[in-house]
Each structure stands twice: as C-alpha cells, then as structure tokens.
Amino acid sequence: MTKKSVGRVCISVAAALAVLYSAPEPEAEAIEQPVPFSHRVHSEVGIKCRNCHSLKDGFAAGLPPETTCMACHATVKKDSPAIRKLAEFARSKEPVPWKRVYEVPEYVWFSHQSHHVDAKIACEHCHGPVATRDVIVKEKPTSMQACMDCHAAYKAPNGCDFCHNTQ
C-alpha cells in the first residue's frame, strides 16, 4: 500500500468516525456517588482542583487518598453521615469506589499533563464549572468531534495517530 493510499484510508476512517461520534450526547444525569461530595463547598474554602486531583503518571487526574480528606474531616463535619462513611473507608484503608463521570475510550491516548500543564488549558474547559457544582454531571462532551474541534481551535495536531494508538 502506498503512502498516499494509507493517507486516504486514514482520512476515510476519520471521517466515518467523526460522523459516528459527533451525534449529540444525551442530557447529563447525576451519577449517585458512594459518598456525597460538593466541589462548590470545597472550592469556596480555597481548595483547588490540583489539591485533590494529582496528575499521577501525567495521564489520569487521580483522586485523593481518603487520609487526605480526613486531614480536615477528622474535625470538620465529623458527625455527618457522609463523613462517617468516608472515615470508615479511611479506617479500613479502602478507597472510596467513586464512579467516573468523564471517560474516554481505552483506544484514545489522553494526557492531562499535555492538556492542563503543557498547553495550560484550564480544568473548566473540558469539565465545565466544576467549582460551582454540588453534584457533578457530564457537562461537556468527550466525543471525537468535540476533541477535534478543540484541537482545531488551539491549532493542535488532528491526525489519527495523534490520539489513537495505531498499533
């Protein structure tokens, strides 16, 4: 296969996927979490996204260990049912089984490091105004078209192999 025909195949596949994945996403519904959590309340006391969501290995924005939460909640609202539940997870050294709100398919290469740290794109750009929310819902699409539109706006590469594993 020539380089030109490989390019045509790639463009054809990208076009087909763009049509397939550009359909509007359904209205977001709140996902019930094992422990209620308000980003609004926490941001109002000065806690920033990266205070809790570290960029472990640069890809995933991780979740804090329960001991991080309990550093404050050993005394703050310690008698609330939600904090007692959180404290039990911490005592048993089990992570809270949070349910993901935003997710990209396994075959997509995505790095918070390259987007947030290197390109200086704010968390809100992809996740919406999380700091003002008591309950998180998926407010922004993670479709291929949404990503390609953003890459075009920021003049970032949009070739197939930039985000998709070609092996």
Give domain status of residue 23, yes or no.
Answer: no
13 pLDDT above the threshold of 50? no
112 found inside a domain: yes
Domain that holds residue 53: 30-63+98-163
73 confidence band (pLDDT: 50, 70, 90): very high
Q: Is residue 11 part of a domain?
A: no
- For residue 8, what pLDDT is reported? 54
Which range, of 22-26, 44-48, 84-88, 141-145, averages the lowest pLDDT? 22-26
pLDDT of residue 60: 78
Q: State mean pLDDT over 11-34.
A: 58
Between CA 96 and CA 64 the distance in angstroms is 10
56 strand-pairing partners: 60
**147 within some domain:** yes
Phi and psi dihedrals of 31, rounded to 5?
-95, 125
Please indicate, yes or no, if residue 109 is contained in any of the structural domains.
yes
Inside any domain, residue 10: no
Give me the mean pLDDT over the 51-72 stretch: 87
User: In this structure, are residues 96 and 70 in contact, taking their beta carbons and an 8 Å threshold?
Assistant: no
Paired with 46 in beta bridges are: none
User: Does residue 146 fall inside a structural domain?
Assistant: yes
Asked if 40 and 132 touch (Cβ cutoff 8 Å), the reply is yes
Total domains in the fold of the chain: 1
User: What residues does 164 pair with on adjacent strands?
Assistant: 108
pLDDT at 22: 41
Is position 144 within any domain? yes
What pLDDT is recorded for position 3? Answer: 54
